[in-house]
Amino acid sequence: MRRGSCLAARCGAHANVRRRGHLGVGANRAGRWRVPAKRVKNAGAKLLLDFHYSDTWADPGRQTTPAAWTNLGFDSLARVVEAYTAHVIAQLKHEGTLPDIVQVGNEIDHGMLWPVGAIGVVGADTLLEWEHFTGLIKAGIRGVRDALAPNDSVRIMLHYSGGGNLAGTRWFFDHMSRYGVPYDLIGLSYYPWWHGTLGDLRANLAATADRYGVDLMVVETAYPWRAGGWEGFANTAAMTWPISRAGQATFLHDVRTAVVATPHEHAAGVVWWYPEAIPVPGLYVWAGGSLALFDSTGNALPALDAMR
């Protein structure tokens, strides 16, 4: 885990996120994750491990299969996903850093490991697509469980991006139920410029908790504390909080409050995406650092207190 996120743990945050791509590729080599995972655990935080199953970031518009796996058909791809996942979990367990939550895929609204595991948009999806996609998810879940002993406790999360999209969330998780995908947690993303109002999020959390009876987490969220870097996002109509340090803190407080209000005690938490994304000369930083929980010199912003 990046150092900034472990500082967040000392400031009161209770979970940190690790993200992984393919085992044999550069920055995603397994050995690079051992020390950071220990750092998270030593900080007293929970560890959430997110498998992207890609050589780069995965999101609703990009689920690129790792180069080493690109020529595999469905059966072979499912086997390698299971084996790779089990290998990573076994390594982390050996190091004493078993994740508390494992996320099988990142923002997998339209599948993962494209094209084999791709899903068409609503109305253009097919039965074969769902069979392949859910088969790959099940392979990842089997991989997690292959590496566990009976007394190990690891929760499985599935991540749909549309935190304010009730119809889309239902479409996705109804298919998970139909195809018998076993999971423990639902993760949603909530960026107001993409996912609507806070009321949309509240409505989706309530309806989803009622329908599926599992815990829910806003597993990605962010909001700007200053101008510069975020202005090109699609729709600012739902960005009703001030663009300021105080406005960012109020946003996080309001999102946390919405999640805590999830019915039937199914609230599982909130995770801020890339909290340590401060500008570094010569390097690209998401949104120019305007969505971080630290200012440009690395000092914690007031929103970090909302993690307490």
Task: Cite the active site residues.
Answer: 107, 220
- DSSP per-residue letters across 78-145: HHHHHHHHHHHHHHHHHTT---SEEEESSS-TTBSSBTTTB-PPTTT--HHHHHHHHHHHHHHHHHHH
Please name the residues in contact with 154: beta carbons below 8 A apart, sequence gap of 6 or more: 89, 98, 99, 100, 101, 102, 144, 148
Q: How much helix, strand and coil, in percent to the nearest 5, is found in the chain?
A: 40, 15, 40
Helix (H, G, I), strand (E, B) or coil at 270: strand
CB-count burial class (<10 Å; 0-12, 13-18, 19+) for 150: exposed
Of 102, 99, 90, 89, the C-alpha closest to 185 is 102
Beta strand 101-104 pairing with 46-51: parallel
Do residues 192 and 198 touch, judged by C-beta distance below 8 A?
A: yes
Place of tokens 């743990």: 9
Do residues 40 and 14 touch, judged by C-beta distance below 8 A?
A: no
For residue 185, the cross-strand partners are: 157, 215
> Alpha carbon of 125 to those of 71, 172, 177: distances in Å?
23, 11, 16
| Separation of alpha carbons 117 and 98, rounded Å | 27
| Separation of alpha carbons 167 and 112, rounded Å | 20
| Separation of alpha carbons 295 and 97, rounded Å | 30
